[in-house]
Amino acid sequence: DTGVSQNPRHKITKRGQNVTFRCDPISEHNRLYWYRQTLGQGPEFLTYFQNEAQLEKSRLLSDRFSAERPKGSFSTLEIQRTEQGDSAMYLCASSQVGGDSPLHFGNGTRLTVT
Amino acid sequence: AQKVTQAQTEISVVEKEDVTLDCVYETRDTTYYLFWYKQPPSGELVFLIRRNSFDEQNEISGRYSWNFQKSTSSFNFTITASQVVDSAVYFCALGTSGAGSYQLTFGKGTKLSVIP
């Protein structure tokens, strides 16, 4: 168990550019989640996958955001035409199936849009 | 809708003091799950404990203890004999499985500073 891995750790981009983040979950976990955390706030749910199927998306996930999990392994989160309001820590988590299964989080990708 | 309230934004204690972090939740679901996570300065959220709505038994793990009371919709976390390494932001979270939704709703967190 090597934990949840996220890349890159930091990303600085100019407004209007596209960015993509990657998450590698714990290998035996079926579920993968993306959360966003801004300064002084708790993480907010964005979306989650069970295997390769994206089962739920938050209203926070605008049309500029897209997430994929091909083959039910790693996942990518892409933000198109970034805005300054997208600056945040993007957290990935994984868990086993089961409503009470704890989420195991990665270190996150900190995005700064200038 | 689910909601988690952590009324204490920041707490400072002197090392070896006991400290309790409050968490109040709201949900209409009858089956739900409560969690506490620790976020040290390094940023990674670390899972501490999980509680199911049908199990109100309190739990103790070393210096940590949790008091779950459905009557007051609270799930408080106590650290006994605090240490500097306990300094972090602590988040309470609520998970429900109604309609197949497995997202967690987090509180805003309580920043704990333990002063040597």
B16-25, B37-46, B75-84: least confidently modelled range:
B37-46
What mean pLDDT comes out for the span B57-66? 88
* A12/B contact by beta carbon, under 8 A: no
* A107/B contact by beta carbon, under 8 A: yes
* B69/A contact by beta carbon, under 8 A: no
Per the DSSP assignment, residues forming a β-bridge with A34 are A47, A92
| Contact (CB, 8 A) for B88 and B79 | no
> How far is the C-alpha of B27 from the C-alpha of A48, rounded, in Å?
21
pLDDT score of B61: 86
User: Nearest by CB to A48, which of B45, B91, B102?
Assistant: B102
What mean pLDDT comes out for the span B100-115? 88
Q: Which residues of B touch A57 (CB under 8 A)?
A: none
Quote the percentage of chain A above a pLDDT of 70.
98
pLDDT score of B103: 81
At A63, give phi and psi (nearest 5°).
-65, -15
Q: Which residues of B touch A31 (CB under 8 A)?
A: 102
Per the DSSP assignment, residues forming a β-bridge with A3 are none
Average pLDDT across chain B, whole number: 92
> How far is the C-alpha of A64 from the C-alpha of A21, rounded, in Å?
14
Nearest chain A alpha carbon to B93: A42
> How far is the C-alpha of A96 from the C-alpha of B93, rounded, in Å?
17
User: A55 vs B100: CB contact, 8 Å cut-off?
Assistant: yes
Q: Which residues of A touch B91 (CB under 8 A)?
A: 42-43
As given in the structure block, the two tokens for residue A61 are: 């996930």
3-state helix, strand, coil in chain A (%, to 5): 5, 50, 45
Q: Which residues of A touch B43 (CB under 8 A)?
A: 89, 107-108
Query: How confident is the model over A83-109, as pLDDT tens digits?
Result: 999 999 999 999 987 767 889 999 999
What mean pLDDT comes out for the span A16-45? 95
As given in the structure block, the two tokens for residue B70 are: 């459905």
Per the DSSP assignment, residues forming a β-bridge with A59 are none
Pairing of strands A10-13, A109-113: parallel
As given in the structure block, the two tokens for residue A53 are: 């199927």
What mean pLDDT comes out for the span A69-96? 95
Pairing of strands B10-14, B110-115: parallel
Which three-class secondary structure state does DSSP give residue A112?
strand
Quote the percentage of chain B above a pLDDT of 70.
96
What mean pLDDT comes out for the span B102-112? 92
Which three-class secondary structure state does DSSP give residue A60?
coil
pLDDT score of A2: 77
At A18, give phi and psi (nearest 5°).
-95, 145
pLDDT band at A42; cut points 50, 70, 90: very high
User: A99 vs B31: CB contact, 8 Å cut-off?
Assistant: yes
* B110/A contact by beta carbon, under 8 A: no
pLDDT score of A1: 54
Q: What is the 3-state secondary structure (H, E, C) of chain B?
A: CCEEECCCCEEEEECCCCEEECCEEECCCCCEEEEEEEECCCCCCEEEEEEECCCCCCEEECCEEEEEEHHHCEEEEEECCCCHHHCEEEEEEEEECHHHCCCEEECCCEEEEEEC
